[in-house]
Amino acid sequence: MKNFIRNNIGYFAMLMAVIGFGSGPPFVTLALKEFFIIDLLAVRFLIAFVLMLLFCILMRVDISIKQVGLKPFLMGLLNPFLVTLSFHVGLLLTSPINGVAIISTLPLIQPFVAKIFLKEKIEIKVIIGVLITLVGTYLLLTNQFDSGAGNYLGDLIIFLGMLCASINEVIGRKFMQTKVNQLSVNTFQYFTGFVLSFLILFIIWPNSSFQYTLHLDFTPSVIAALTLSFITFASYLFYNYALRRLPLGRISLMYPLTGPIGATSAWIVVDAEINFKIFLSLIIILIGTIIPYINKNLN
């Protein structure tokens, strides 16, 4: 049993990350009923940064910039800051089910990003997978739009965030396989998100829903914001651990799980409507994202 866990610990880590990525959007929708976007970003990254800093101190990790270099700051800008910002803005407009469905299409974004940055060839299987996924995505988004739960602009904003996530994954894959300490990288990623959020909050957009007082009432929105902070802390911790130990292909194959995980979370947290068309769409999206990786060497 121990050998099984040791041999597959990268998969378990990515599964935990995917559970976090999939369950997060409904909590964002709930938290934004009380918080402004930048307030929620600031809270999430501040708490995640403090938790990560305390974790590093307990583990006696060297978190000097000299040890990690500047790449974690770029990674922090892309993901989690820009990715999280896009989701906060997008989920003000669209349904959390749409959000998790778009997350699950990340494996299809990867080959095109690799084409641009790594000059890799796009296989015919990728094109077939994209077409099938587009059918599933179209069915889902139009169903949500017709029911009044979706918004195409919000969907587009979330998709742009997933482009940032894909670029970050290309950058982070090789970097996380070096001797750099994963905990240090996580710390500076959260720190970057925290600093950028507070700069926007106090300089560019000095209009806070906190009104410079502490929220002591544990309303559903406050509980959702705190939950998101721990999701942020844990998800990216597990994600970077998986990046160090798994090939991108195998990591990508686990993203489609965000669809059913997120749909279930949305139903539990915000009472989102779940019907046969939604699950059929998610199944089609899952099939489309898996096709490019059939009979492919994922190492």
**Helix runs in the chain, H state only:** 2-7, 9-31, 37-59, 65-68, 71-76, 83-93, 96-103, 106-118, 124-146, 152-176, 182-199, 220-245, 248-252, 258-269, 276-290
Between 258-269 and 96-103, two packed helices, what is the crossing angle to 10 degrees? 160
How far lies 195's CA from each of 42, 62, 118, 138, 199, in Å?
Answer: 8, 20, 31, 37, 6
pTM over 0.85: no
pLDDT at 212: 46
Compute mean pLDDT per 10 residues along the chain, 299 residues long, and list them.
Answer: 74 89 91 87 91 90 84 91 93 88 78 70 75 80 76 90 87 76 88 91 66 63 90 88 75 77 86 81 80 62
Query: How far is it, in rounded angstroms, from Cα 87 to Cα 159?
Result: 9
pLDDT at 207: 60
- CB-based contact 17:251 (threshold 8 Å): no
Query: How far is it, in rounded angstroms, from Cα 70 to Cα 65?
Result: 7
Residue carrying the six token digits 């998986």: 242
DSSP 8-state secondary structure symbol assigned to residue 122: P
Amino acid at 16: M
